[in-house]
């Protein structure tokens, strides 16, 4: 596990997941988006009090939004590759969870809510842009957790 690996993983994920959103955006049924919005709205009230609760919150939110875009992207190979990347990122987060800032839960929610908002509006380009921004921000947050984990270990 290295910072170089983390950067490369996110670089690939950013490019491929934006493709997933672009392919899926017009195929996701409106009813499915409304169900996601309802669940996302319930997440807005969640205030994790521990590292493990925060991690579970992030995983559930990712599964909710990223999962549905993967489901509707229409490309099994792309879906499998991106799922593999997400699993690797989640393994980093499990390792780094003691150093995660649970105050970031609101940022995670806001970024995912923006993606969902644009999907619901049918604005594919803005949904893609919002996802790219979310993943770039996630990378920066994860790098902070990474640095803190290794500073703490020294």
CA pair distance 5, 43, nearest whole angstrom? 31
Query: Is the dihedral angle over the CA atoms 65, 67, 72, 73 positive or is it negative?
Result: positive
Q: What is the pLDDT of residue 32?
A: 96
Angstrom distances, CA of residue 128 to CA of 52, 112, 119: 29, 12, 9
Q: Is the pLDDT of residue 48 over 70?
A: no
3-state secondary structure of 49: coil
What is the per-residue pLDDT across 64-79, written as a single tens digit (0 to 9) for each? 899 999 999 999 999 9
**What mean pLDDT do residues 116-127 have?**
97
- Going by pLDDT thresholds of 50, 70 and 90, the confidence category of residue 88 is confident
- Going by pLDDT thresholds of 50, 70 and 90, the confidence category of residue 144 is confident
User: pTM to 2 decimals?
Assistant: 0.86
């Amino acid at each position: 596990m290295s910072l170089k690996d983390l950067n490369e993983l996110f670089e690939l994920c950013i490019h491929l997941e934006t493709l997933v959103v672009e392919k899926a955006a017009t195929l996701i049924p409106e009813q499915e988006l409304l169900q996601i919005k309802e669940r996302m709205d319930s997440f807005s009230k969640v205030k994790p009090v521990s590292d493990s609760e925060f991690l579970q919150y992030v995983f559930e939110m990712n599964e909710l939004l990223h999962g549905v875009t993967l489901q509707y992207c229409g490309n099994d190979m792309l879906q499998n590759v991106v799922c593999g990347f997400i699993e690797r990122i989640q393994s980093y987060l499990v390792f780094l969870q003691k150093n995660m800032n649970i105050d970031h839960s609101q940022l995670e929610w806001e970024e995912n809510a923006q993606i969902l908002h644009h999907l619901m509006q049918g604005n594919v380009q803005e949904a893609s842009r919002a996802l790219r921004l979310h993943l770039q921000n996630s990378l920066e947050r994860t790098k902070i957790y990474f640095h803190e984990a290794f500073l703490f270990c020294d």
